[in-house]
Every structure is written in C-alpha cells, then in structure tokens.
Amino acid sequence: MPRSDPPAMEADYVIVGAGSAGCAMAWRLTEAGRSVIVVEFGGSDAGPFIGMPGALSYPMNMRRYDWGFVTEPEPHLGGRVLACPRGKVVGGSSSINGMVYVRGHARDFDHWDEAGATGWAYADVLPYFKRMEDWHPGLHGGDPDWRGKDGPLHVTRGARSNPLTRAFVAAGEAAGYGATADYNGHRQEGFGPKDATIWKGGRWSAAEAYLKPALRGGRAILVRGLASRIVIEEGRARGVEIRRSGRTEILKARAEVIVAASAINSPKLLKLSGIGPGAELAAHGIDVVADRPGVGENLQDHLEMYIQMTSARPVSLYRYWNLFGKGYVGARWLLTRSGPGASNQFESAGFIRSRAGVEYPDIQFHFLPLAVRYDGRSAVKGHGFQAHVGPMRSPSRGHVRLRSADPAEAPSILFNYMSHDEDWRDFRTAIRLTREIFAQAPFDEFRGVEIQPGQGVRTDDEIDAAVREHAESAYHPCGTCRMGRADDPGAVVDPETRVIGVEGLRVADSSIFPRITNGNLNAPSIMVGEKAADHVLGRGMLPRENAEPWIHPDWRTAQR
C-alpha cells in the first residue's frame, strides 16, 4: 500500500497537466504573481524526436511520450480499434503533434456562444488568439490586423519549395475555390500557405512558449506524478492527490485546482474524484460528490482519409525515405536547424464547403508531398503525394468511461465514428472533391495513379467500404467536459470554466469545447488556457473585437 509523504506541497493553484492549455495557464497565473504547481505524469521533452519537426511521426508512436490510448472496437468501422495518441510528456500533445496551427473558423466560436458558452463568441476569443501569437508570415502575405505579434507562441510558415506543395494550391484555385493568404485571418475558405508552431527550425510547443518561462520565473513548480483524484472537502476542491515514487502525496491548492489533462484524462480524473454520472461512479464504488451526467460524454474527433497518388516525377520527399536520406536530414537539422527536418512538411492548406447551403467550410485538407501514414510507414515504394481529407463537423458523438476505480488503468474510449448517415454522405463528397482537385491541370506533370482508395473505387458502396477499412483519426479529441449554462444538466463547466456543483475547481482544455472547431485543435486549446487564466484571475476579459469573417457571398446557392 503506498504510504503518505508529508508535509504536503502547497501553492495558490494546482494545475493537472502540462499540455497546451495547462502550460498557458501556468505562465499567465505566475505572470500575475500567483504561485502554481503543475502536475505532469510524463517526462522530459528534450531530444531530437520531439524537437525536429520532420520527425513528427516518431514521438506520437513512442510509448515514452504517448499514453498509448486506443479505442474500443468502433462498430461503424468494421470493429477496428484505432489509436488515440495523447501527449505523456512535458508540453503534452503540443510536444507530439503535427505542429499545424489552425484557430478554427469564426463561426465555430459564435456557435459556442449560442450553445450556452456565453462570452466565447469569436469577438470574445479573437483578442486571446492575438495575445498568444507571435506571427511570422514570411513572404506569403496574410492579414496582419487579424494576427498577433510579440506573444509567446511563435507561428511560422514553411518554405513551400516543393513543386507538389505549390501545385496543390494552384489546383485548388483551378477548381474554382479561390485562394486565401491567411486562413487564420479574414478568410478561411480557399487554398494557401499553412501555419505551424515551428520556430528557428524547431518545434515550438506550449512548454517552450509558456511553461519553461514560468518555471524560470520561480513561481511555478513542475511535479511529476500520476494524479489519482481531486481532494474535495465540504464541496470544495482543496488539492490533488498524486502517486509518485511509490508514495501517495497531496498537493494543496490555496485558491483553486485546475484540470487540464486532455479530453481523455480530464473526464477520467473528474470521475475518479466523484464528479460524473452517478450510476457509473456507483458501479465502480466511487462516492458521488456531484452527479454530472455530461462528464465523459459528447466525445468528438475529426476522422480523415489519405487520398494518395503516385508521382510521375521524382520530386517528392521519397528521395529521403532510405537510411542515407534520413541520416542526411537528421544530421543537417542537428547541425544547422535547416533542411527538410526543419519543416513538418504540411506547408499548404485547403478549406472548402461540401455543398451549397453550408455557410462556412466543413472540409479540411492537409497536403503532404509524400505518400506515407502517421505511423511513418510509406504507402508505396516510390514517389508520391497525398491529401488528408475529412468532414469537420460530424454529428457523431462518443464517450470516455472508467474501466475501474484504479487511476493507473486506461479509460474506455469509444468515438462512435460514422454513426450518422450524414457522415457517410460527407465523406463520399470529400473524397470525390479531392479527386477533382488532383485532376486539375497544375497536377498534370505530376499525376500518376491513385493508390488509396484506388482508381477502381467509384460507387457509393465502394467508397463506403474504403472509409470503413482505411479512415483514421486526425487525433483531435474534444468535448468530454462540455462548457455551457450553469442550469444545463449536460454541461460540466460554466462559461468561466468552473465545474458546476464543486467550488474551487475548473477544467480548461479541449474537453470543454461544446463542439469541435474547424481544423487542428492545438491553437484553440491554448486559447482556452489563455482566456481561462483571466477568468481565474477575475480581472475582466480583453475587449471584444467585432471583426467580421469572409463568408462566400453565394454560399446558399453555390458550393464554390
């Protein structure tokens, strides 16, 4: 039996999770003069596998850095078990992700506000995106009035020197979608350069941007251990129980406890602490502190297919896909922080609408000048390219539930992917629209044969079968501690990120998203940490900015 290790450590705030939002909160709270203890189970983020952008497929597949979560057999994907990587390392998932930086569309946040997260409309959150950014557009233009400068988070763009990368944007324009110089600015819809959290050739994680400055300032302490429960006395959170080195310890919070442990671990920790659906807690012998049926529900993600082609010209990154090539890329990066290793290679983006009547984009593209999977395995022995594509706003919802009351046991995760007819319709459309883009003239000199789904896959039934067999998670879980009105029985936190029914406790990470945003989730997760810090400090919000986003003037009647 683990033994206690008094005396307890104590700070104004205890933050569980050194990920995207937790790191941001640690910096903003210490900047305001508060003391903070940050609890992180994972280890150091030092080393080339995390630091080198071009090595992104490695850390998300290494148990040293990843919790190694997998789903339950997904009933609508033929019973497949899918990977659900989450960062188990300082910096959390910002240390193992693909470094793609997407705020989300303005209308995403307007929907949050309308759904009960009052004060989280785009006019409310835009100032926080600007506060956190240090944006470097390079030679590609953009919307500086919509972007931040001098914030802690460096956001840059790749060189876009590969002709395939440029051909993708040209093909999108040729197909009639138009260009956007900055999808994080006035206009998301269209094709253009992609933003990334990369700085001076290296990954710029939330740990680099926020946590390490907070630790250097002396008001933050990083404690490595497994958070086993929130200590709640008389309806108020008083601290966090952790396990480390065979001991159980209590980290005391004089003011509040803040859970920022991910869309998987945050609901798990709340449930272990007696906050969640009463029947589920009782089944595991956990005393109910607050019966909140929404804890662990509303799980969402982006699902995507890789539309892969062979390249008729030897211009893809496959030239480095051998022992000598990888050695060259690694050595060049280690010595000069330059070359292919200094980019995540996601350098061109696309956002389009699936059909007329959709107000703003609901399909996202990630283009890569190589045919490869996230696990690093090449799809073809030769040159190729691919676009990751999938619907952005699936109506499917899943859940995160306890397997037992043991904090060391992974939870049960079911996304329930493709559980609506709308999912299948939208996926077929996304695949066919991608094929149309690859068929445009800018790809004529490069276009080979389709590898996946394959040139013979044409009918609805054939495409559905391919999706069922090959669709993969984009690793964007969210929504499991949904933010909403305090009187909403399905909400877990109120619009100030306070857990409903427990004093002195907040949740601030992607788990509080009412609905998934349009694109990758690192940027909005950091924004949540930034804005939640101001709620915690009680010093008022940044002034609203009523910037109106570009919406296609004929969206009701035209698809492009």
Cα gap 327→325, rounded to integer Å: 5
299-358: per-residue pLDDT in tens?
Answer: 999 999 999 999 999 999 999 989 999 999 999 999 999 999 999 999 999 999 999 999
- Residue 477 confidence (pLDDT): 98
CB 188 within 8 A of CB 107: no
CATH number of 68-84+146-200+300-473: 3.30.560.10
- Residue 558 confidence (pLDDT): 98
Assess whether pLDDT exceeds 70 at residue 380.
no
Assess whether pLDDT exceeds 70 at residue 520.
yes
- Residue 372 confidence (pLDDT): 83
- Residue 3 confidence (pLDDT): 42
How does the average pLDDT of the chain come out, rounded? Answer: 96
- Residue 381 confidence (pLDDT): 78
Cα gap 245→462, rounded to integer Å: 53
5-38: per-residue pLDDT in tens?
Answer: 445 799 999 999 999 999 999 999 999 999 999 9
**Amino acid letter, 499:** V
Active site members: 476
Q: pLDDT category, 377, cuts 50, 70, 90?
A: low
- Residue 140 confidence (pLDDT): 77
CB atoms within 10 A of CB 7: 8
Alpha-helical regions (H) of 6-121: 20-31, 48-51, 106-114
Assess whether pLDDT exceeds 70 at residue 419.
yes
CB atoms within 10 A of CB 46: 10
Strand 3-4 relative to strand 247-259: parallel, antiparallel, unpaired?
A: parallel
Q: pLDDT category, 4, cuts 50, 70, 90?
A: very low
Assess whether pLDDT exceeds 90 at residue 227.
yes
Assess whether pLDDT exceeds 80 at residue 196.
yes
DSSP annotation of 448: E
Asked whether residue 100 is marked as a ligand-binding residue, the answer is yes
Question: Three-class SS string for 347-362?
Answer: CEEEEECCCCCCCCCC
Helix 421-438 crosses helix 163-174 at what angle (to 10 degrees)? Answer: 110
Assess whether pLDDT exceeds 60 at residue 269.
yes
The model's pTM is 0.97
Percent of the chain past pLDDT 70, that is, above it, reads 97
Domain boundaries, the chain: 68-84+146-200+300-473
Cα gap 439→433, rounded to integer Å: 10
Cα gap 274→267, rounded to integer Å: 11
| Mean pLDDT value across residues 232-241 | 98
Asked whether residue 98 is marked as a ligand-binding residue, the answer is yes
Cα gap 509→511, rounded to integer Å: 5
Q: pLDDT category, 138, cuts 50, 70, 90?
A: confident
Asked whether residue 184 is marked as a ligand-binding residue, the answer is no
Taking Cα atoms as reference points, which of 223, 229, 262, 242 lies closest to residue 507?
262
Q: Per DSSP, what are the bridge partners of residue 13? A: 36, 256
- Residue 141 confidence (pLDDT): 83
In degrees and rounded to multiples of 5, residue 343 shows phi and psi of -125, 145
Cα gap 27→30, rounded to integer Å: 5
In degrees and rounded to multiples of 5, residue 383 shows phi and psi of -75, 140
In degrees and rounded to multiples of 5, residue 267 shows phi and psi of -65, -35
Assess whether pLDDT exceeds 70 at residue 410.
yes
Assess whether pLDDT exceeds 90 at residue 68.
yes
Percent of the chain past pLDDT 90, that is, above it, reads 95
Q: Please give the span between the terminal C-alpha atoms of the chain, in angstroms, as a whole number.
A: 63
Q: Find all residues with CB under 8 Å of 484, minimum gap 6, and list them.
A: 115, 116, 117, 490, 491, 492, 493, 494, 495, 514
Cα gap 345→158, rounded to integer Å: 7
Asked whether residue 389 is marked as a ligand-binding residue, the answer is no
| Mean pLDDT value across residues 62-91 | 97
Assess whether pLDDT exceeds 60 at residue 378.
no
Q: What is the rounded (10 degree) CA torsion for 326, 328, 330, 332?
A: -160
Task: Give the number of C-alpha atoms closer than 13 A to the C-alpha of residue 234, restricted to the C-beta side.
Answer: 0
Question: Residue 528 corresponds to which tokens in the numbers above?
Answer: 């949540």
Asked whether residue 25 is marked as a ligand-binding residue, the answer is no
| Mean pLDDT value across residues 93-107 | 98
**Which is it for the CA torsion 548, 520, 451, 430, positive or negative?**
negative
